[in-house]
Structure 1
Amino acid sequence: MAEQATKSIIVGAGVGEVFEAWSNFESFPCFMKSIKSVEKRPDGSTHWVADGPVGTKVEWDAETTMFEPNKRIAWHSRDGSPIKTSGQVTFVELGTGQTQVNVTLQWSVPAKKGGETLAHLLTHPDKRLEEDLYHFKVYIEGRKVHA
């Protein structure tokens, strides 16, 4: 059975800047605590490395299923990945240099290898997603201060 978490945050930057930053998956380790690296593959997929339990790491591949500039990005893990996850992020321009970012994640914890790691990654998923979004906000708004 799949589980889901949804969170939103308002970022003090225009939708173009916010979308561009989010669509640069390689920058996710700058604001997502458990993500260690994201690498774009020649076929357009991405390879993710995250912290696992007791100092281990977990790796999986994902592909983007929807890419609407300044509006939406959706993805899912590839077949054969130890983590089964999907989700989407939408961007709503609020005017006056603000953008609402809405993230929905779905996942299922497999009973086989990787299930314990996924369970570790998704301990308190609502809280973790809220923290990651807050760090994204600080990351974007901090760039404006230092620009």
Structure 2
Amino acid sequence: MARKPLPESAKELTLRRWISIGLPATDLFALWLAPDTLPRIMSHFAKVTPINKSDAHWQIDGPLGKKYAWESRIVEAQPGEIIAWQSLEGADIPNEGKLVLTPAPGEWGTELALTLTFTPPGGTLGKKVTTFFDLLPKEIASIALHRFKSLAETGEIPTINGQPAGRHAERQDKEK
């Protein structure tokens, strides 16, 4: 069961970011909805597990070792134009999001506008969650869009995980 849209007064934190990608909107729309895309592009922020074509389970690590979880559902999908989702009732952190796809100027591809809105729970816990989100605010959306752009344009998301730092290679050799 989808939860009610967030009331305007309850919108504690809204993140908006934009990016241009040199591909048609219909291709980007299909890629965003592919089952393995969200887990890959949001891995810096959350563990996302697709449940079916419209629902996903999200889990994030919050302050003080607390884990927060929710399920989200796509509530609007117009091919090549918009994808909107919202958390379902019972979410630890109620939220909603929207990805709007529009033609980029000069027929260069597609502009994507991502809006994420989170409503932290109330009380002391809410203040800690809000502080946690304030540490990352714009980065959540920016990193997700840049990772999506890399995936769309190259087929992969660059990472340095598991790679030694080249600038320390000499020091590592001397320590052996």
Tell me the TM-score normalized by structure 1.
0.80
Q: Does 1:64 align with 2:74?
A: yes
Write the deviation string for residues 14-46 of structure 1: whole angstroms up to 9, x where unpaired: 21221111112542232221122222248x432
Q: For 1:69-108, list aligned pairs within 5 A.
A: 69-94=79-104, 96=107, 98-108=109-119
1:113, 1:59 → 2: CA distance? 18
The structure richer in helix per residue is 2
CA RMSD of aligned residues (A): 2.6
Q: Does 1:141 align with 2:153?
A: yes
2:74, 2:115 → 1: CA distance? 14
State, as a whole percentage, how many aligned pairs show the same letter.
Answer: 24
Q: Which position in structure 1 is the counterpart of 2:122? A: 111
Contact 1:10 1:99 in 2 (8 A): yes
2:63, 2:100 → 1: CA distance? 30
Report the CA distance between 1:63 and its aligned residue: 1.4
The structure richer in strand per residue is 1
Contact 1:73 1:89 in 2 (8 A): yes
Structure 2 gap ranges (5+): 1-9, 157-176
1:41, 1:86 → 2: CA distance? 18
How many residue pairs match? The answer is 143
Q: Which position in structure 1 is the counterpart of 2:55? A: 45
Q: Which position in structure 1 is the counterpart of 2:45? A: 34
Structure 1 gap ranges (5+): none
Bigger RCO of structures 1 and 2 (CA < 8 A, at least 6 apart): 1
Contact 1:26 1:37 in 2 (8 A): no
Q: 2:139 aligns with which of 127, 133, 144?
A: 127
2:94, 2:114 → 1: CA distance? 17
SS at match of 1:67: strand
